Amino acid sequence: MKYKQWRVSSPCPEGQASLERAGLPPLLAGLLSARGVVHPEAARRLLSPGSEPIPDPMLLKDMDRAVDRVRLALERGELIAVYGDYDVDGITATCLLTQFLSARGGRAIPYIPSRLGEGYGLNPEAVVHLSERGAALIVTVDCGITAVEETKLANSLGIDVVITDHHACKEELPPAAAVVDPHRPDCPYPFKGLAGVGVALMLALAVAGEEEAREVFDQFCDLAAVGTVADVMPMTGENRAIVSLGLKKLDPPRRLGLASLIRYAGLEDKPVTSVSVGYTLAPRINASGRMGMAEVAVELLLTQDPARAEELAAQLCELNRERQEIEGDIFQQCVQRLDTAPQRGAIILASGQWHQGVVGIVASRLAERYACPCFMICLEGGMGKGSCRSWGGIDLFELLSSCAHLLENFGGHTLAAGFTVKEENIPALAQALRLQVETACQGEALPSVLEVDMAVSAQHLTVEAVEALDLLEPCGTGNPRPVFLLQGAQVHTMTQVGRGRHLKLRLESRGAYLDAIYFSSQGAELGLYPGCRTDVVFYPQINDFRGRRDLQLQVVDLRLVPSLAQLERTVYDKYRQGADLTQEEARLLLPSRGDFVGLWRWLERQSTACTVVEDTPARIARAVSRVTRKREAPARTLLCLEVMEERGLIDVNRRTDRIQITLRQVEHKVDLEASEIIKRLRKILGEGL
């Protein structure tokens, strides 16, 4: 098991029935009711996000000031630098605002700092460079909320700054012409989950005004959707409308760059969903920033040249392959280090050999593998640039805030953040971080819990039923992909695919056969074998291949289901140790009269040929099962032998793996029910009290 605990919800019977009467398919109705959506009207609002009205951007604090300054720059013909971040959210936000301002006659240029050369956010060198280019206004997107000194520098050079961001704020805000961030403590905007590109879209809507807002929204919601999904923002509130309508604009895509990228990524002729954006398109766009070439993605999203779009899409895919190789190498290095020298509470690793652009992904994989927050630090010239990922509900921004005295700078979200630290301070930082994590979890291990919507039967898993789940799109935080549990499925066949990196399974459950894929896993390490039974937690998906649509389970986690004989042995060992048994365990172990009769008959037959009967428990149980014509039950057979020994019917000599049994000559009837062992089991069951 990847997760220590599966928390499985159950549908509300009355709520499910109500939703089914309203016309929803049973699987979807059960899922919604398990998530607490039990009224048809609430389901309608959830399943029709595009019908919600466009939010009022003027509710954002300082939006009026931002609009005034941007409109003034447009009127004056000033050079406006749209300054973004190098991840997908920042790249899409930069392209959105640059294209919007240019379409309104503005002189707008995109600027994204080099991840490897400049690092995250507004930096002094970039401010000076933009001043030399003649910029009169810098509008930040997806960054800038902590750029106090950089904003002061821009002001001293005669440049106004409008900050739009969605990251957590520190106490001091930059002295900008406007600071638009829903996380400002004094911001009345009700929805706090906007991505950086979402805030940029709000600025565009506000500048355009109410009469043009719908047209602007329709024009740019595709970029906003990609950035919002990629930044793992909550799929609730405004984000559902942004992403829902944006995904529709991607099918088919209107932008040459996105059309080419979709084609090169193998998504052509397939529906574009939040999953395909998050796992296929976003990593390719992200690769440009991670490899220090964010300008490739920016040009791709802005180009009007079909040939150039093809070249750039191919380049992004190649950069992504290169990123994957580097990431894999670093991950293996880290695993070897941690296997040699384990770390508890939090993982803090540093090296001067790592690629700064990919350590965030490695941190995410390590956090999941070791079930704790992970901090990866790239060293160069006595300084360390760190990326960190959370686990178990640990708030990274709060954690870094508590260690601010050891840091040169930091910023980010609850779940992902970045920081800069002097190399000499890393040991003290590691100690402080571990102490904070230990305090936060009160000395207990961080939870490794998998939330499961509900258990399902194989008969309910049809192509039609799973297709109906598409109504939940867009999925994400707050509205996750459906996760189901299939219990007791038998592994029919298992095959390594993808050069041995993934496991393909053929499962059988109550006569129904299902295909499953478990990425980045192997059968041997999981203890799987053909014929074994397993509980499987999975995402349901439709595999569309050459016009044929088949159901496939994408495995999230699985666990072997012990056979009844294995379960009985576990209970027997528990009984032998003197531990308390549950009623179900006692019932499982309690022998029947037929068990005793079958064992005694077999012993009598064997004793005619030899004085002492000797064999292994398993072979004895197998032989007895042939007499009783029941299944083999080694643990119960062992218990029968104990009872017979206690009641004076046999003598038992136990060896390491074999048992010697000698029958006694008994002249009278023996009441096996008088056995203290039997009495103990019946007392647990509430019998014979």
Q: What is the domain partition of the chain in residue ranges? A: 5-47+451-561, 57-222, 250-325, 333-447, 565-684
- What's the rounded mean pLDDT across residues 177-185? 96
Question: What is the predicted pLDDT for the residue at 689?
Answer: 47
For residues 146 and 132, the answer to whether their CB atoms sit within 8 Å is no
Average pLDDT over residues 644-655: 90
Choose the weakest-confidence range: 99-103, 275-279, 609-613, 616-620. Answer: 609-613
CATH architecture of the region 5-47+451-561: Beta Barrel (2.40)
Q: What separation in angstroms does the CA of 200 have from each of 77, 127, 444?
A: 20, 20, 41
Q: What is the DSSP secondary-structure string of 421-487?
A: EEGGGHHHHHHHHHHHHHHHTTTSPPP-EEEE-EE--GGG--HHHHHHGGGGPSPBBTBPPP-EEEE
CB 54 within 8 A of CB 218: no
656 against 87, higher pLDDT: 87
Q: What angle do CA 610, 611, 617 make, to 5 degrees?
A: 80
Q: Are the beta carbons of 181 and 199 closer than 8 angstroms?
A: yes
Tell me how far apart the alpha carbons of residues 487 and 536 are, in angstroms, rounded to a whole number: 6
pLDDT of 409-419, one tens digit each?
888 888 888 89
Least confident interval from 46-55, 282-291, 336-345, 479-488: 46-55
Domain covering 333-447 in this structure, CATH number: 3.10.310.30
**Predicted confidence (pLDDT) per residue in 462-499, tens digit:** 999 999 999 998 888 889 999 999 999 999 999 999 88
- Mean predicted confidence (pLDDT) in 422-445: 86
Q: Within 10 A of 594 (CB to CB), how many other CB atoms are there? A: 12
CATH dotted code for 57-222: 3.90.1640.30
How many C-beta atoms surround the C-beta of residue 248 within 10 A? 14
Cα separations in angstroms, 331 against 339, 340, 351, 520, 658: 12, 14, 12, 13, 47
Q: Is the pLDDT of residue 221 over 90?
A: yes
Q: Are 345 and 372 in contact (CB under 8 A)?
A: yes
What pTM was computed for the model?
Answer: 0.76
Domain 565-684 fold: Arc Repressor Mutant, subunit A (1.10.10)
Report for 117-131, 144-158, 264-278, 388-402: range of highest mean pLDDT: 144-158
Phi/psi for 435 (5° steps) reads: -65, -40
pLDDT surpasses 70 at 440: yes
pLDDT in tens, 599-644: 999 998 887 767 788 888 888 988 988 888 888 888 889 999 999 9
